[in-house]
Amino acid sequence: MRTSQPLAAILPALVALHGCGDAANAPATQARSGPDPWTSALRVATAVDRNADPSIVEVDIDARIAEWEYAPGRRVRAMTYNGQVPGPTIEARVGDTVIVHFTNRLAEPTTIHWHGLRVPANMDGGPHSQPPIAAGATFEYRFTVSDPGTFWYHPHMNERVQMEFGLYGAIVVRGPREPQADAEGVFVLDDLLLGDDGQIAPTGPLLEQHSGREGPLSVVNGRAGAILPMRAGQRQRWRIVNAGSARYYRLALPGHRFTVIGTDGGPVTTPRTSDELLLVPGDRLDVLVDGVGAPGSATTLRNLPYERGHGAGLAEAADILRVQYAGDTALPRLAAPAPGARIEPLAVAGITPREVTFNERIDRDTKRVLFMINGQSYPDVPDVVASVGAAEVWDLRNESEMEHPFHLHGFFFQVVSRNGVPEAEPTWEDTIQLRGQERVRIAFRPDDRPGHWMYHCHILEHVDNGMMGAIDLRR
Ligand code: C2O
Ligand code: CU
Ligand code: CU
């Protein structure tokens, strides 16, 4: 799909492609008049599609060292995709083929992992599925996108350095039916820790290895101190990605409520409204925000305090960005979004759960912090051997005090229960919160994509120090 074409030129092709032309299939963003925040400093360039075939998105991405201007006039030396942080947003429609011509212009090996996309195992970028792409080498990623939702891409090598230095980007996959909003865009959240020289501080101190790296400077779409334009009555759709190494985001926008319409794996059955959103590292939420503020008023999106164990986390609320209302009269409010397609709970009765425990210890000799799954650190964690089509039930048990956000590659799962309390309504997830001492039962049914699939804590220092294992999925 060529994004540079005017919408009017692509629309008939899209309608033909999806075989329907009714009003419900109108583009998601049908702006009534009001500002589009993603033309402001929050704009993230979309990857340029160089394939004229409307069902193929073909893009060039490289990883390279470049300057990252995180605030006007403030630059740091970064690792970037195509010279920008976040990397270009890859936009596609369900069913599209995505081809990424990737060149590694870094001085070290890397891979790209398509977090949340159900790609074939050999396209997943994980350490078991793909040999490293050496400095100067190229690789062609090719897969189809099968689910609507908000996903992201990042390296799966030396993550705690490469991702911290800026290697991440969003992926937006649209379905034939998307809820109405006046403006829509991605919010890729991250935090930065700068050194005295104003550059990104070197990674690796022991405390950071244990607690995970956090920095005091919040950035949204690579920008600190950004202003989000809003109009009274306007409905904005925020596709939020937490790309931080260890930072939790507990977001609140005073005076406003969020309507959650999607999670990691796409639309929820019942949109729910809430005053706060929690995103653990790796997580995504798709929310509608209605402009209930008065014309000319302003408010601030905040990250509220959150303790994630051993004193790690945010002690005092931090500002994420400022929301500034235009002086125009209010637009008429839009009706509440319609429910999504019903997500049926997976049938798990009679399946013996696998125990997957999370723990940590300090190795007295090496002084290294070891993070463990079932008592072992990667690569010593034995593979979980699973079969295509056979339901899996896992009991994730966190035996430590610290939280370990759990991520599974390649497949969406449902949370069955937390500490024995059943979840109210199933959603599709690939990254979830796992609190200290918590027991979370999850269920999934791997579809026909045999190979090795990683699962791990998404705190990058914890992956690096061993909290990762693999599923050996067989036919
Ligand atoms: Cu965000 Cu192993 O992934
Ligand atoms: Cu992933
Ligand atoms: Cu962890």
User: Mapped to the 3 state alphabet, what secondary structure does 132-169 carry?
Assistant: CECCCCEEEEEEECCCCEEEEEECCCCHHHHCCCCCCE
Residue keyed to tokens 């979309």: 46
Cβ(409) to ligand 1 under 6 A?
yes
- Asked which of 21-35, 230-244, 277-291, 459-473 is least confident by mean pLDDT, the reply is 21-35
The average confidence (pLDDT) of the chain is 93
Does the pLDDT of residue 52 top 60, yes or no? yes
Look at residue 75 and tell me whether its pLDDT is greater than 90.
yes
Report pLDDT for 394: 98
91 contact partners, CB below 8 Å, separation of at least 6: 1, 3, 46, 47, 57, 171, 172, 173, 174
Look at ligand 1, atom 1, and give the residue with the nearest C-alpha.
Answer: 115
Ligand 1 binding pocket includes 66 (Cβ within 6 Å)? no
Measured from the Cα of 409, ligand 1's closest atom is 2
pLDDT tens for 423-466 read: 999 999 999 999 999 999 999 999 999 999 999 999 999 999 99
Nearest atom (ligand 1) to Cα of 116 = 1
Distance 331 CA to ligand 2 centre (A): 39
Which residue has the least CA distance to atom 3 on ligand 1? 115
Residue 215 CA to ligand 3 center (angstroms) comes to 17
Quick one: which atom of ligand 1 is closest to the CA of 115? 1
Cis peptide before 281 (omega within 30 of 0): no
pLDDT band at residue 61 using 50, 70 and 90 as cut-offs: very high
Q: In angstroms, how far is CA 48 from the centroid of its own chain? A: 21
Q: How far is the CA of 126 from the centre of ligand 1 (A)?
A: 8
Of all ligands present, the nearest one to the C-alpha of 246 is 3
The ligand whose atoms approach the alpha carbon of 153 most closely is 1
Taking the CA of residue 126 as reference, the ligand 1 atom at the shortest distance is 2
Ligand 1 pocket, 115 CB below 6 A? yes
Rounded distance from Cα 235 to ligand 2 centre (Å): 30
What global pTM score does this model have? 0.93
Q: Any idea which of 347-356, 358-367, 437-446 has the lowest mean pLDDT?
A: 358-367
- C-beta of 284 in contact with ligand 1 (< 6 A): no
Q: Note the pLDDT of residue 9.
A: 38
With a 6 A CB cut-off, is 407 part of the ligand 1 pocket?
A: yes
Please name which ligand lies nearest the alpha carbon of 241.
1
